Structure 1
Amino acid sequence: MKHLFLVNPAAGKRGSTEALLRRVEETFSPLGLEHEVVLTSSAGDAERLARRAACSGGPVRIYACGGDGTLNEVVNGAAGYPNAAVTNVPKGTGNDFLRIFGANYAARFSDLAALSRGPQAAFDLMDCNGKLGIGVICAGVDARVAADVHRYKRLPLVTGPGAYLLSLGVNVLLTDIARPTVVQAGLDRLEEETSIICICNGRYYGGGFMPVGDAQPDDGVLDMVVVPRVSRFTFFRLVGAYAKGRYRSHPEVIRHFHGPAFSFSSPEELVAVIDGEVMRAKSFTVRISERKVAFFYPGDLDYRGEN
């Protein structure tokens, strides 16, 4: 079996790429395992390289070394190939998908030896207008905050946390948090202004928000929560409950749906963020994909519940 490391050198702190390359050699060379390390140089590289490895036909384990965006690219490249399995070595600013494996996920997924021999499971994937995702899709004010962070990062003297706070202030305090939408969930149809639309295959996004704590990545269905237009006071009052998955305690505001497919549209352009990747359209359809992806992980961890 081949072990392919696709490393995003732009992710993580200065020196993290060099440290990771040393760990790969120190771990795999003594074990005599066939391995290759490739540094990506532009958007789409990880997807292309993962697909090329999967198309080879030989058994391969692909390590997405970066954040959720790097994992998303690798998943899109390897999905549907039974000979390929993927994982995520945490190197980016956000590795939200891995949080389903418990509080110690960062340390355990950084243990390359444990990863190399770990079990794998067939995970569902979400198809969002043809783009695959493994974790969470958000399409409300939270998506607009996430999408604008990159724009504010380019401003002089603005750091990562500063860019997030700036985006949060502009999108929540200075602009309207709701958009007119039509949401279709099976036989249920909602025509109203919405503040948040969030569809979960995984459980976490946005640095630790967990809208649906019992969402599972291998149960063949998706969970969607919808928050209608609310006042800013109500928004900030309930954001903690939303982040901890307490939607059942607030059914009058946080609506929950369970099913294989959902759609939402608006006369205005909507922003959706799928595993950290930004999409823009007036209409989105999200469904369970026919393709799955094999995901491998340290054998002492479990993804089925909070650990």
Structure 2
Amino acid sequence: MTDSAAALCVPTTPRRVLVVHNPTAGRHKQRRLLDVIERLELLGCAVTSKQTGQRGDAEDFATQASPDLYDAVIAAGGDGTVNEVLNGLGRGSGGLALGVIPLGTANVLACEIGLDPRNLDQIARAIAFGPARHVHVAVANCRRFLLMAGAGLDAHVVAGVNVALKRRTGKLAYVVESLKQAVGYDFPKLGIRADGVEYEGRMVVACKGRFYGGPFIAAPDASLEEPMLEVCILPNSGISGVLRYGLALPMGKLSELPEVQVISARTLLITGPRGAPVQGDGDIVARLPAEISVGNDTVELICPE
């Protein structure tokens, strides 16, 4: 984070917050949520809580949130819940900051901003008094995303992952689906036009943040605060390619592999099988062909001090 950004939007009084959460989360995560809300109230925050009943509710709640009543909308859940709230803030009247209570499987945004999902005091303190940093938001086929958007195998894994298994086993569900997809997926070629220059790959991830899939750095030069995408183009296919990339990622070596291209761009067009899924922030947000861009669209993101 830059020094100039760190000086932005530091509240002098506890924030008034709308907490949006999914009641289908496990009992342990519900307890963590209630503990954070209790801490927020002890810090002097005015807290309103709303439960989602179906997909799209979090976006609608954020859209309807009034700056007259709230200073921020807090997504209590995983990165998919954050994405819904982010898109609701884009449709709303503006002026509201975005915060997170990380209760998801990967919690990539929490990794990006240095928020420890296990440190409830840190989470509450950040929401109440943490600086709101000015970050640039990217768009995939008119759908906002904050962290990354990808096409190819990773998008098919997101589309196919077993939700019940994910709730029981967390990240293991993605490992199971990745191996399943690696055997049956045909790895079609993807065309990538980045700022007018043509590339080709089997998988592509446009990164706004450094992290991918959890505490794993895929794009070390990416920055939420810059109006730029770091685009990772992966050319290998098959189970050997999946294992190679899957081993390099947790070691922080993905971008260093000789065949992997990482380029900077503001606009991106991905072509391939028409209708193939595009994942954004861990949810399916678009279909191919996909136009991805980053420009002047911004949001105030609440971070730890």
TM class, shorter-chain normalised? 0.7 to 0.9
Alignment partners' CA distance in 1, 2:216 and 2:175:
16
Given that residues 45 and 128 in structure 2 are in contact (C-alpha distance below 8 angstroms), is that contact kept between their aligned partners in structure 1? no
Distance in 1 between the 2:208 and 2:238 partners?
Answer: 28
Call closer, same or farther: CA 1:254–1:260 in 2, change over 3 Å.
Answer: same
* Offset at residue 219 of structure 1 (A): 1.1
- Give the corresponding residue for 2:4: none
Q: How many residues align?
A: 290
User: Of residues 9, 12, 18 in structure 2, which corresponds to 1:4?
Assistant: 18
The 3 A distance-change label for structure 1 pair 257 and 269 is: same
Cα distance, 1:290 vs structure 2: 3.2
Q: Are the structure 2 counterparts of residues 295 and 106 from structure 1 closer, same or farther at C-alpha, using a change threshold of 3 Å?
A: farther
SS in structure 1 of the partner of residue 272 of structure 2: strand
Which amino acid in the other structure matches residue 237 of structure 1?
R
In the other structure, the counterpart of 1:63 is 74
Partner of 1:88: 100
Match of 1:185 among 188, 194, 209: 194
Name the CA distance, whole Å, in 1 between partners of 2:44 and 2:238: 60
Partner of 1:303: none
Aligned runs of 1:28-47 on 2, under 5 Å?
28=41, 30-47=42-59
Displacement, 1:140? 1.6
The question of whether the paired residues in 1 share the 8 Å contact of 2:76 and 2:103 is answered with yes
Contact 2:192 2:271 in 1 (8 A): yes
Q: Aligned-pair distance for 1:43? A: 0.9
Checking the alignment, whether the CA contact within 8 Å between 1:109 and 1:115 is kept in structure 2 is: no
Contact 1:2 1:60 in 2 (8 A): yes
Shift of residue 32, structure 1, vs aligned partner: 4.0
Q: Which one of the candidate residues 12, 27, 34 is aligned to 1:21? A: 34
Aligned runs of 1:199-218 on 2, under 5 Å? 199-218=206-225
Structure 2 distance, partners of 1:152, 1:14, is 15
**TM-superposed deviation, 1:145:** 1.6
For the residue of structure 1 that corresponds to 2:105, the secondary structure is coil
Q: Which of 270, 276, 287 in structure 2 is aligned with 1:281?
A: 287
Gaps of 5+ in 1: 300-307
Q: Tell me how far 1:241 sits from its aligned partner.
A: 2.7
Q: Quote the residue 2:247 is aligned against.
A: 240
In structure 2, the residue matched to 1:122 is 134
Q: CA deviation at 1:107?
A: 1.9
What is the identity, as a one-letter code, of the residue corresponding to 1:16?
A: K
Letter matched to residue 3 of structure 1: V
Q: What is aligned with 1:256?
A: 262
TM-score computed with the length of structure 2 as normaliser: 0.84
AA in 1 matched with 2:302: F
Report percent identity of matched pairs: 25
Say if 1:95 and 1:162 are closer, same or farther in 2 by CA, change over 3 A: closer
Displacement of 1:35 after TM fit?
Answer: 1.9
Q: Which letter maps to 1:125?
A: V
Give the direction of change, closer, same or farther, for the CA distance of 1:89–1:268 in structure 2 (3 Å limit).
Answer: same
Structure 1 runs (4+) greater than 4 angstroms displaced? 56-59, 158-162, 242-245
Relative to the length of structure 1, the TM-score reads: 0.83
Q: Which amino acid aligns with 1:71?
A: V
Q: 1:169 to 1:85 in 2, by over 3 A?
A: same
TM-superposed CA distance for 1:109, in Å, is: 7.5
Partner of 1:169 in structure 2? 179
Aligned AA (2:292) = V
CA distance in 2, matches of 1:271, 1:27: 38
**TM-superposition CA deviations, 1:146-188 (whole Å, max 9, x none):** 221136749xxx8555643431222112332x21222101231
Partner of 2:8: none
